[in-house]
Amino acid sequence: MKFHFEYHTKSPNELEYNSKRVQDLLEKWGMRRHSYIKRFIYEEYFDYENDEHKFLLEFFKDENVREEFKIQSDQNNWKELQGDIYDVAYEKVPCNLTTLHFFDRLYDAAIVRRESGAIVKTFPTYLEEDNSSPIMITDELRKLLLLVDSPHYDIFSKDDRNEFMFRAFKSICLGGDMCQFEDFVSEYFNILKKIYKDLIWYVRIK
């Protein structure tokens, strides 16, 4: 059986990601020009235990997908996938979380002030990375996200940090180039909730 994919033409109007509020904040955080969400539909039966590799390989080889799916060049320009695709490598990311209560420990650890939602500031710390300028860290939240020696690093376990919700939260908190950080965590949570609902759909199995 071969999988067939079609671009979901109504999805741009259905996605919260494309709303003005979300796009304005992604622009502020330096992420708008580096990300997008597109939905594709298929009708074939998918056996998640046996079809993963085949499904993804056929997805990226499908002409309908290749017309819509863009990758970013070294110059940050969007371009089409080029050439034939013979194999795919992928990582399975757990999506077990359904609520933002997962982040309550940020308040418990006094990284975020419970009363106001303000992110606690700290003296500047610099993170050195190969082949890039040092990253200046000026609050406890980014210390938690980036520095293994942060006193609060262990409030999220390795499994916690592997969750898709944590990864998405980390991405929007750190932002892209020319990022203007938020002083209050609420904006990050609001956008995280909208994007998460766009990307993850739960079905209860009795």
pTM of the complete model: 0.90
Q: Give the per-residue pLDDT at 125.
A: 86
Whether residue 69 sits in one domain with residue 113 = no
Whether residues 51 and 142 share a domain: the answer is: no
134 shares a domain with 63:
no
- Expressed as residue numbers, the domain containing 57 is 6-80
pLDDT of 164 higher than 80: yes
CA neighbor of 185 nearest in space, from 95, 97, 107, 99: 107
**In this model, does residue 46 exceed pLDDT 80?**
yes
Q: In this structure, is residue 108 part of a structural domain?
A: yes
Q: pLDDT tens digits for 52-98?
A: 999 999 999 999 999 999 998 877 788 888 889 999 999 999 999 98
Sequence-distant (6+) residues with CB within 8 A of 57 are 85, 87, 88
For 107-138, write each residue's pLDDT tens digit.
999 999 999 999 999 998 888 776 567 788 99
> Around 201, how many Cα atoms within 13 Å sit in the side-chain half-sphere?
3
Do 50 and 130 fall within a single domain? no
Q: Are residues 33 and 66 in the same domain?
A: yes
Contact 149, 143 (CB under 8 A): no
Whether 166 contacts 160, CB under 8 Å: yes
Token representation of residue 121: 């500031």
In a domain, 125, yes or no: yes
Is residue 31 domain-shared with residue 112, that is, in the same domain? no
Residue 132 falls within a domain, yes or no?
A: yes
Instruction: Say if residue 52 is in the same domain as residue 137.
Output: no
Reading the block at residue 110, the tokens are 């006094």
Task: Please give the pLDDT value at position 72.
Answer: 86
37 and 122, same domain (yes or no): no
Same structural domain for residues 181 and 142? Answer: yes
What pLDDT, on the 0 to 100 scale, is given for residue 78?
A: 87
Q: How many domains does the chain have?
A: 2
The span from the CA of 3 to the CA of 56, in Å, is: 9
pLDDT digits (tens, 9 = 90+) for 173-201: 999 878 899 999 999 999 999 999 999 98
24 and 62 fall within a common domain: yes
Q: Is residue 42 part of a domain?
A: yes
Q: Is there a single domain that holds both residue 75 and residue 113?
A: no
Look at the alpha carbons of 193, 199, 204, 205 in this order and tell me if their dihedral is positive or negative.
negative
Of 33, 48, 80, the residue at which a domain comes to its end is 80
Residues 106 and 182 in one domain: yes
pLDDT of residue 126: 85
Backbone angles phi, psi at 123, to 5 degrees: -65, 145
pLDDT of residue 206: 66
Here the tokens at position 137 are 């860290």
Q: Is residue 145 part of a domain?
A: yes
